[in-house]
């Protein structure tokens, strides 16, 4: 029995044994011919290499560098290894790992210093493709075709703010006495007319959020559907905003506002693209506010006044093409649905108590509103039908797939890995979000943040199909059993 660490001679003998075994498995006839000092056939793949057996019985090629003394003998006469043998793949994999998973040309260069392997580049490429570390490093989500617009985005001939999206933005400093305190903005955008309503929140707790939404309800009416992000979705917000909104009691919000006529829909975490409708308008609000707000810190009353002015300016923006000739109708704006014109100015109508005149006035108002909606259907609606990205469908993520959860706040090497336990699909059959079980818990993430690793079930061949991605606001249905916990 041999004890202690292996010596260099023992390691060399073991390597030689592995080389001889690999050569005997594939090149048995050639070894027999060389041992009996017979010439190989011209049709043999090793004929031009002029192979021979060294003092350890390992087959090598007889190169023309015999007089090149400054080159080691192992590099002058390379060891011949078969291409499709497990020993060859292990040697190439060892070189691939030793050089930290660099490009396969680096691996090819190092392997060719000691071994002759037919079509060595193909072998190195196969090893790199089967390397789990390389799969993780190169894994990226592949979004599917952008889904159809949800009902909330194409609802016509309805009261403005019937389908809305809600988000926070800020903070803003205000002057309270001699102290500076923070205030937050709440934006409510109509998903069909693209009108906005701005409220000022004193804090980011659940009670302040409920109060701001109640103020909006009192002014704009009760909506049919409210959409919002979860706490991790606030794009461009500071850490304080993300942390505070994450602490909002979503169950309390849904209990407060869910009713037979109103429903609250939360987008999956880490999916800001699903709330692009209000994120883009937050950018417009901040741009206008930066121009009209003075340099000094305003009072709370002053900031509320600025937000109202910004609301009117943003609602005056054109939704359709702006004509240049005087004969055409002015461009359609959100204020047309709220105030009857882009700037709110309307001709004065003399008061009368005549029933016929009142009826005619009511009919005129109805006809004016219908005309605005007809223009919305014919002029604005066609502008949002075109897909700007994610044109083609891909193979959906399936339950049981091993995925990497992309996290922009972490280095790629630290992205969590897990297995999909449930998926949500849209009407077109594309997976839009999934629940992933990882070592640290369950994550509900959009498919745009999930990259499928090419690992087949039960050790089967890896799946080379592309991964799936996400979509903007769509109605989602759960296709598997739900999970108890999700972050």
Burial environment of residue 387 by CB neighbours within 10 A (0 to 12, 13 to 18, 19 or more) = exposed
Strands 163-176, 179-190: pairing is: antiparallel
pLDDT at 351: 57
The region of weakest confidence among 35-39, 320-324, 421-425, 474-478 is 474-478
DSSP string spanning 410-473? Answer: S-GGG--EEEEEEEEE-TTS-EEEEEEEETTEEEEEEGGGEEE----GGG-PPP-S------SS
Query: Position of tokens 């849209």?
Result: 426
Q: How many CB atoms lie within 10 A of CB 295?
A: 5
Higher pLDDT pick, 288 / 293: 288
**The CA-based dihedral angle spanning residues 29, 31, 33, 37, taken in that order and rounded to the nearest 10 degrees:** 180
Q: Flag whether pLDDT at 220 surpasses 50.
A: yes
| Interval 410-447: pLDDT, tens | 888 888 989 999 998 888 888 888 999 999 889 888 88
| Interval 346-388: pLDDT, tens | 655 555 666 666 566 667 767 777 888 888 888 888 888 887 7
pLDDT at 484: 37
Q: Cis (ω within 30 of 0) for the bond into 128?
A: no
Q: Flag whether pLDDT at 185 surpasses 50.
A: yes
When pLDDT is averaged across residues 300-310 and rounded to a whole number, the result is 92
Q: Flag whether pLDDT at 464 surpasses 90.
A: no
> What are the tokens at 195?
């009108």
**Domains of the chain and CATH, by start:** 16-138 (1.10.340.70), 157-323 (3.30.420.10), 401-452 (2.30.30)
Q: What confidence tier does 217 reach under pLDDT thresholds 50, 70, 90?
A: confident
pLDDT at 461: 42
| Interval 224-271: pLDDT, tens | 998 888 754 333 344 555 555 555 666 666 666 666 778 888 888 877
């Amino acid at each position: 029995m041999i004890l202690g660490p292996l010596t260099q001679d023992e390691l060399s003998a073991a390597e030689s044994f592995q080389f001889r075994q690999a050569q005997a498995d594939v090149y048995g006839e050639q070894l027999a011919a060389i041992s009996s000092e017979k010439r190989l056939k011209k049709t043999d793949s090793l004929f031009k290499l002029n192979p021979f057996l060294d003092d350890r019985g390992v087959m090598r090629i007889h190169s023309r560098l015999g007089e090149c003394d400054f080159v080691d003998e192992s590099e002058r006469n390379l060891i011949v290894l078969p291409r499709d043998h497990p020993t060859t793949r292990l040697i190439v994999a060892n070189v691939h790992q030793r050089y930290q998973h660099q490009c396969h040309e680096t691996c090819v260069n190092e392997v060719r210093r000691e071994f002759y392997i037919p079509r060595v580049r193909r072998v190195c490429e196969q090893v790199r493709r089967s390397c789990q570390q390389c799969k993780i490093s190169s894994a990226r989500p592949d979004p599917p075709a952008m889904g159809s617009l949800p009902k909330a985005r194409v609802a016509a001939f309805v009261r403005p703010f019937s389908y809305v999206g809600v988000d926070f933005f800020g903070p803003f400093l205000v002057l309270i006495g001699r102290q500076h305190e923070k205030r937050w903005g709440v934006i409510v955008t109509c998903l069909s007319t693209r009108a906005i309503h701005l409220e000022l929140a004193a804090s980011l707790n659940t009670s302040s959020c409920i109060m701001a939404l109640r103020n909006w309800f009192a002014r704009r009416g009760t909506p049919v559907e409210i959409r919002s992000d979860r706490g991790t979705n606030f794009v461009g917000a500071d850490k304080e905003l993300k942390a505070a909104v994450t602490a909002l009691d979503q169950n309390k919000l849904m209990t407060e506002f869910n009713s037979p006529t109103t429903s609250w829909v939360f987008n999956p975490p880490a999916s800001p693209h699903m709330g692009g409708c209000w994120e883009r308008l937050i950018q417009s609000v901040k741009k206008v506010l930066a121009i009209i707000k003075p340099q000094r810190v305003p009072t709370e009353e002053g900031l509320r006044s600025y937000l109202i002015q910004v609301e009117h300016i943003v609602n005056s923006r054109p939704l359709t093409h702006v004509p240049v000739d005087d004969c055409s109708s002015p461009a359609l704006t959100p204020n047309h649905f709220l105030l009857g014109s882009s700037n709110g100015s309307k001709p004065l109508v003399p008061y009368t108590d005549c029933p016929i005149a009142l009826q005619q006035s009511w009919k005129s108002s109805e006809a004016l509103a219908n005309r605005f909606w007809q223009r919305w259907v014919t002029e604005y609606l066609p502008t949002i039908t075109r897909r700007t990205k994610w044109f083609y469908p891909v193979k959906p993520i399936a339950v049981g797939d091993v995925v990497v959860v992309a996290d922009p706040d972490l280095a790629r090497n630290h992205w969590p890995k897990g297995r999909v336990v449930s998926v949500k699909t849209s009407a077109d059959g594309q997976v839009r979000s999934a629940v992933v079980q990882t070592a640290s818990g369950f994550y509900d993430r959009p498919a745009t943040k999930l990259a499928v690793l090419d690992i087949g079930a039960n050790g089967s061949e890896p799946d080379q199909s592309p991964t799936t991605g996400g979509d903007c606001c769509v109605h989602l249905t759960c296709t598997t059993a739900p999970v108890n916990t999700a972050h």
